Amino acid sequence: MSTTPQPIGPATQKVLAMIDDSELEARYPNRTHFVDARNPHQALLTSRALFHGDPVVVAYPDGREVLFTPKRADGLVAVVLLLALFWIKLRERPSSHEPIQLPPRTQVEVRDASGLPLAA
């Protein structure tokens, strides 16, 4: 039985390109999650990673990307963020139009296809 191969999404293309390109890899912080902008669960995936303290790149088909970098939290703030993540999980609904929920002090940087910042 054969299936039609699915096209590789922009997030996967970036990860594969980083294997051979150390300059490209250096653009992103450690533990960065890559999410396709067209993924129907993109907002939930992004919010979960951010509330766990991991950076996220939302990659668009035209090469643009948005890098979200949360500030690491310690102590009581970390507990509050975990509670917020639990609250997000409780409110989870099957919808592709959910907004991305950002932890406090998250840096957002929009980049063009060559990796240059458009806005920060």
- Please indicate, yes or no, if residue 91 is contained in any of the structural domains: yes
Q: pTM of the prediction?
A: 0.76
At residue 99, what is the residue type?
A: P
- Please indicate, yes or no, if residue 75 is contained in any of the structural domains: yes
Report how far residue 36's alpha carbon sits from residue 40's, in angstroms, rounded to the nearest whole number: 9
Report how far residue 27's alpha carbon sits from residue 63's, in angstroms, rounded to the nearest whole number: 14
Beta bridge partners of 117: 111
* Nearest partner of 31 among 14, 56, 64, judged by Cα: 56
Q: How many domains does the chain have?
A: 1
- Please indicate, yes or no, if residue 16 is contained in any of the structural domains: no
Structure confidence at residue 37 (pLDDT)? 93
- Please indicate, yes or no, if residue 11 is contained in any of the structural domains: no
- Please indicate, yes or no, if residue 2 is contained in any of the structural domains: no
- Please indicate, yes or no, if residue 94 is contained in any of the structural domains: yes
- Please indicate, yes or no, if residue 59 is contained in any of the structural domains: yes
Q: Which ranges of 5-105 does DSSP label H, i.e. alpha helix? A: 10-20, 22-25, 42-51, 75-91
- Which residues of the chain have a pLDDT value below 50? none
* Nearest partner of 72 among 81, 64, 63, judged by Cα: 81
Structure confidence at residue 10 (pLDDT)? 94
- Nearest 5°: the CA angle 29, 24, 109 is 55
For 38, other C-beta atoms within 10 Å of its C-beta total: 13
Domain that holds residue 55: 29-115
Structure confidence at residue 82 (pLDDT)? 67
- Please indicate, yes or no, if residue 17 is contained in any of the structural domains: no
Structure confidence at residue 73 (pLDDT)? 63
